[in-house]
């Protein structure tokens, strides 16, 4: 049976020591978000995740969601735990108090989300989609629609979806065919079929509001002719009481590789009644404004799975006796030594640990930047934080989900044959996290967003938001003997990233395929450097504690060891990625189509 203990000590380290969360309470609106309050919330979330969500993870996978004539049932126990989750207020943790939310910082929401994903990734998708839908509604819907829907999404009595994908298009939403006809009374009638709709139908809430991309009759072709609509499962009166069933039906749930307890639905809209959200034909823009948070959330799915996979690999490596240490038996009283004595097993564990903790620091940093972007009293600071969020969002989404898969697979490898057996729970992590590399914009699309959009914006303004502070931190670290050993490899990789940025920037102008062919390697390089920068910050914070003699020495020493492992054993990938980028687009583009 797998285990999970929320990594509260590590989370506190990142929040308080590395990101200096004490400054959060200085932001208007977050006056109550003191470190003590954050810790309290984290402890409550940990209790819920460990005690209620985690026990349903394997049973949910085994049972899955069932579809019967349009009715979808979630696995045993999900209804009860969802009710408790909603009643405890977790769905509205970061939501506006005006709608019943708790108005707590996004970075705290990110930390709680990590626990949710570690404990039960399938479950996390239901409140996750409600949050995504709420963001879109809060930013773009008319006030009366906000007033009716948001309190119910926040208190969990209703849930939300995002209906984008159709059979013929996922990435290229310009191909959407679903139509919306005005009914003359300010409403619209939607007709079409959406697929892969997470939480499209289920038995957890009394109503579901679908945010649907569709075309108005006069819509231009392509992405410039797509509008966003809110289409509820049940129509509602002005007081929110439920009326007749809308003509939205679930045609089936997908049988998938993993994430079995999350319903993935085919949704038929048959002249279903809906309301326009935002401006006609500007639906894509409305989607994009809420995408940063959603993409950060998917990145956190990768982080959550990495954490729980690592914990289980570590536990097994300590317990399982197999072979003897290469330098001679470590424990003659036992028939064999534990796996953890073997350098190759330690290499796997440290890879998992370094990636997971680096990923956490990066995700939390972006979460904190979201808070600063929204709440900081200074416009320049808000803009700077917003730039960082824009730049790092595709990196977090793609790199953290890629690493989530990598770490889950390493955990299976540490467990050996026992990792491949279903009852032990390890292989489920591999299956569950795999979709995170695909949905909410496949990782290749994130890479194109980074090189095609974010890099180019205002001739590199976003890049400078990241490059300048990292350059300063590297310079400062170079003057501290204890950190210099870490700063050296990072400076080298950082140099490669800067060269690669210039290379793509100049080549990509002349030939967009140059940017396209380099995109995925560049995003990975960026992510490695960004996590390296996080490790430098973590090492600095740990070093400060050690120098001050604040106790907990083993914890801070472990941070320094892991930072060193990251810099010397993982970051060298940056050299190879840079070489690959410099090799240009020709090796990719020269092959004729029938040569494949």
Contacts 24+ apart (CB under 8 A), 470-477: 470/494, 470/529, 470/533, 473/533, 473/536, 473/537, 473/540, 474/536, 477/536, 477/540
Within 565-584, the residues that bind a second copy by CB under 8 A are: 565, 568-569, 572-577, 579-580, 583
Q: How far is the CB of 146 from a second copy (least distance, A)?
A: 30
Within 52-91, the residues that bind a second copy by CB under 8 A are: none
Within 296-355, the residues that bind a second copy by CB under 8 A are: 314, 317-318, 321-323, 326-327, 335-336, 340, 342-350, 353
- Please state whether beta strands 227-232 and 207-214 pair in parallel, antiparallel, or not at all (unpaired): antiparallel
Which of 516, 533, 534, 540 is close enough to bind a second copy by CB under 8 A?
Answer: 516
Task: Dump the DSSP string for 550-585.
Answer: -S-HHHHHHHHHHHHHIIIIITTHHHHHHHHHHT-S
How many residues lie near a second copy (CB under 8 A)? 97
Within 390-409, the residues that bind a second copy by CB under 8 A are: 405, 409
Which of 140, 152, 215, 434 is close enough to bind a second copy by CB under 8 A?
Answer: 434
Site string for a second copy, 194-223 (x = CB under 8 A): -xx---------------------------
Q: Distance between CA atoms of 267 and 83, rounded to whole angstroms?
A: 25
Taking the least distance from each CB to a second copy, the nearer of 371 and 432 is 432
The yes or no reply on residue 517 touching a second copy (CB under 8 A) is: yes
Q: How far is the CB of 366 from a second copy (least distance, A)?
A: 23
The piece of 36-44, 267-275, 297-305, 550-558 that touches a second copy (CB under 8 A) is 550-558
Residue 253 pairs in a beta bridge with 265
Contacts 24+ apart (CB under 8 A), 18-22: 18/361, 18/534, 18/537, 18/538, 18/541, 19/107, 19/361, 19/364, 19/365, 19/368, 21/107, 21/368
Any idea of the CA torsion for 581, 587, 590, 595, to the nearest 10 degrees? -130
The piece of 34-42, 96-104, 367-375, 511-519 that touches a second copy (CB under 8 A) is 511-519
Q: How far is the CB of 339 from a second copy (least distance, A)?
A: 9
Taking the least distance from each CB to a second copy, the nearer of 331 and 475 is 331
The yes or no reply on residue 513 touching a second copy (CB under 8 A) is: yes
Annotated catalytic residue, options 114, 384, 427, 440: 440
Determine the 3-state secondary structure of 116 from DSSP.
Answer: helix
Closest CA to 77 of 258, 257, 204: 204
Residue 150's alpha-carbon distances to 91, 304, 539, in angstroms, are 11, 27, 42
Within 32-51, the residues that bind a second copy by CB under 8 A are: none
Q: Distance between CA atoms of 392 and 529, rounded to whole angstroms?
A: 12
The yes or no reply on residue 594 touching a second copy (CB under 8 A) is: yes
Identify the DSSP state of 23: G
Q: Tell me, yes or no, if 440 is annotated catalytic.
A: yes
The yes or no reply on residue 546 touching a second copy (CB under 8 A) is: no
Residue 570: Cβ within 10 Å count:
20
Q: How far is the CB of 514 from a second copy (least distance, A)?
A: 8
Taking the least distance from each CB to a second copy, the nearer of 234 and 582 is 582
The yes or no reply on residue 491 touching a second copy (CB under 8 A) is: no
Taking the least distance from each CB to a second copy, the nearer of 41 and 306 is 306
Element (H, E) at 305: helix 291-319
The piece of 49-57, 87-95, 99-107, 419-427 that touches a second copy (CB under 8 A) is 419-427
Using CB atoms within 10 Å of the CB of residue 350, give its burial: 0 to 12 exposed, 13 to 18 middle, 19+ buried. Answer: middle
Using CB atoms within 10 Å of the CB of residue 55, give its burial: 0 to 12 exposed, 13 to 18 middle, 19+ buried. Answer: middle
Q: How far is the CB of 203 from a second copy (least distance, A)?
A: 22
Taking the least distance from each CB to a second copy, the nearer of 231 and 349 is 349
Q: How far is the CB of 331 from a second copy (least distance, A)?
A: 11
The piece of 273-281, 363-371, 434-442, 476-484 that touches a second copy (CB under 8 A) is 434-442
Which of 439, 466, 526, 535 is close enough to bind a second copy by CB under 8 A?
Answer: 439
Within 463-482, the residues that bind a second copy by CB under 8 A are: none
Show the beta-strand stretches assigned E in 12-140.
Answer: 66-68, 71-73
* Four-residue CA torsion sign, 287, 359, 530, 443: negative
Which of 444, 460, 478, 495 is close enough to bind a second copy by CB under 8 A?
Answer: 444
Taking the least distance from each CB to a second copy, the nearer of 275 and 522 is 522
Q: Distance between CA atoms of 74 and 113, rounded to whole angstroms?
A: 20
Within 131-190, the residues that bind a second copy by CB under 8 A are: 165, 168-172, 174-175
Which of 242, 254, 488, 495 is close enough to bind a second copy by CB under 8 A?
Answer: 254
The piece of 96-104, 135-143, 498-506, 559-567 that touches a second copy (CB under 8 A) is 559-567
Q: How far is the CB of 421 from a second copy (least distance, A)?
A: 5
The piece of 14-22, 151-159, 278-286, 435-443 that touches a second copy (CB under 8 A) is 435-443
Which of 20, 76, 245, 422 is close enough to bind a second copy by CB under 8 A?
Answer: 422
Using CB atoms within 10 Å of the CB of residue 201, give its burial: 0 to 12 exposed, 13 to 18 middle, 19+ buried. Answer: buried
Residues 6+ apart with CB under 8 A from 45: 6, 90, 111, 112, 115, 116
Q: How many CA atoms lie within 13 A of 190 on its CB side?
A: 34
Q: Distance between CA atoms of 306 and 311, rounded to whole angstroms?
A: 9
Buried b (16+ CB within 10 A) or exposed e, 159-189: bbbbbbbbeeebeebeebebbbeeeeeebbb
Q: How far is the CB of 466 from a second copy (least distance, A)?
A: 22
Which of 15, 448, 456, 542 is close enough to bind a second copy by CB under 8 A?
Answer: 448
Decide if 408 contacts 431 (C-beta within 8 A). Answer: no
Decide if 139 contacts 286 (C-beta within 8 A). Answer: yes
Q: How far is the CB of 154 from a second copy (least distance, A)?
A: 29
Taking the least distance from each CB to a second copy, the nearer of 245 and 334 is 334
The catalytic site residues sit at 440
């Amino acid at each position: 049976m797998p285990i999970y203990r929320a990594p509260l000590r590590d989370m506190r380290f990142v929040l308080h020591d590395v990101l200096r969360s004490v400054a959060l309470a200085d932001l208007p609106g977050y006056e109550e978000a003191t470190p003590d309050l954050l810790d309290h919330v984290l402890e409550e979330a940990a209790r819920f995740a460990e005690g209620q969500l985690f026990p349903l993870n394997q049973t949910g996978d085994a049972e899955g969601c069932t579809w019967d004539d349009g009715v979808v049932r979630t696995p045993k126990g999900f209804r009860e735990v969802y009710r408790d989750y909603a009643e405890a207020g977790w769905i509205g943790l970061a939501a506006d108090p005006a709608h019943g939310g708790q108005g707590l910082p996004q970075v705290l929401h990110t930390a709680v989300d990590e626990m949710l994903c570690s404990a039960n990734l399938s479950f996390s998708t239901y409140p996750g989609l409600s949050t995504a839908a709420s963001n879109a509604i809060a930013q773009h819907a008319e006030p009366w629609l906000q007033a009716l829907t948001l309190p119910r999404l926040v208190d969990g009595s209703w849930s939300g979806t995002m209906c984008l994908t159709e059979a013929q298009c996922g990435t290229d939403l310009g191909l959407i065919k679903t139509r919306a006809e005005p009914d003359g009374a300010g409403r619209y009638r939607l007709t079409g079929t959406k697929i892969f709709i997470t939480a499209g139908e289920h038995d957890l809430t009394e109503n579901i509001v679908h945010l649907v991309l569709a075309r108005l009759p006069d819509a231009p072709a392509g992405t410039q002719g797509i509008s966003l609509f809110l289409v509820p499962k049940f129509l509602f009166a002005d007081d929110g009481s439920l009326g007749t069933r809308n003509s939205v039906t679930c045609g089936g749930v997908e049988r998938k590789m993993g994430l079995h307890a999350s319903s993935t639905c085919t949704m038929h809209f048959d002249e279903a009644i809906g309301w326009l959200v935002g401006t006609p034909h500007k639906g894509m823009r409305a989607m994009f404004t809420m995408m940063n948070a959603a993409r950060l959330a998917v990145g956190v799915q990768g982080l959550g799975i990495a954490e729980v996979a690592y914990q289980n690999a570590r536990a097994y490596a300590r317990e399982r006796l197999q072979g003897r240490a290469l330098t001679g038996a470590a424990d003659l009283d036992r028939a064999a030594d534990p796996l953890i004595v073997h350098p190759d097993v330690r290499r796997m564990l440290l890879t998992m640990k370094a990636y997971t903790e680096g990923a956490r620091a990066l995700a939390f940093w972006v979460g904190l930047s979201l808070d600063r972007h929204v709440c900081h009293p200074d416009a320049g600071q808000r803009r700077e934080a917003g730039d960082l969020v824009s730049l790092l969002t595709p990196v977090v989404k793609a790199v953290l989900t890629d690493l989530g898969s990598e770490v889950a697979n390493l955990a299976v490898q540490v467990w050996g044959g026992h990792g491949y057996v279903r009852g032990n729970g390890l292989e489920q992590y591999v299956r569950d996290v795999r979709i995170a590399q695909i949905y909410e914009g496949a990782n290749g699309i994130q890479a194109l967003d980074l090189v095609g959009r974010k890099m180019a914006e205002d001739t590199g303004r976003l890049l400078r938001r990241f490059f300048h502070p990292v350059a300063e931190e590297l310079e400062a670290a170079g003057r501290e003997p204890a950190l210099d050993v870490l700063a050296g490899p990072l400076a080298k990789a950082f140099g490669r990233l800067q060269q690669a940025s210039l290379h793509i920037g100049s080549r990509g102008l002349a030939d967009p395929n140059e940017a396209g062919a380099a995109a995925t390697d560049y995003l990975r390089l960026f992510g490695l450097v960004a996590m390296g920068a996080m490790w430098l910050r973590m090492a600095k914070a740990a070093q400060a504690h050690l120098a001050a003699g604040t106790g907990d020495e083993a914890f801070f020493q472990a941070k320094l060891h892991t930072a060193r492992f990251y810099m010397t054993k993982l970051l060298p990938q940056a050299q190879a990625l840079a070489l690959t980028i410099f090799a240009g687009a020709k090796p990719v583009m020269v092959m004729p189509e029938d040569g494949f």
